[in-house]
A = this chain, B = another copy of it.
Amino acid sequence: MKNRRSFIKKAGAGIAAAGLLPLSKKSMAGEVKITGALVHHVFFWLKEPKNEAHKKQLLSALNELLKVKTIKMSHIGVPAGTESRDVVDHSYSVSYMVIFNNQADQDAYQIDPIHTKFVEENSHLWSKVIVYDSVDV
């Protein structure tokens, strides 16, 4: 248990020192709590959800989009096979979550040429997009 704690501490210190997310000290449960961050989560619904070539193109373009310098952490995914419940939305095609240090970095991302090029080249693929931007309280 002591070893595990010291590893977490080290990991947090390393990320903070690298100018990445200022990870807070471990909570009572020992997990990593992300603080001082803006979480930008985008869900895409493809016009043709069963078109594997479209899905592949979008995923590949999203991976390219991660080159924007202000992005500090990311996860690109598809719906998980979790239980179907009323409250769970499994209908989207692709999930794209990126984390910035602050709103200024998110704003810079919106007008970054890599981002505008991504929208120009790929927006014909999707019928709907929902974006959620969250900052810690």
Contacts and interface: CB of A to CB of B under 8 A. Distances in A.
Interface residues on A, range: 35 or more
A82 interface: yes
A72 interface: yes
A117 B97 CA distance: 29
The complex is assembled from copies of this chain, and their number is: 2
A87 B15 contact: no
Contacts of A132: 41, 43, 79, 88-89, 92, 95
A80 B38 contact: yes
Interface of A: 4, 7-8, 10-15, 17-20, 27-35, 37-41, 43, 59, 63, 66-69, 71-83, 85, 87-90, 92, 95, 97, 99, 103, 106-107, 110, 129-137
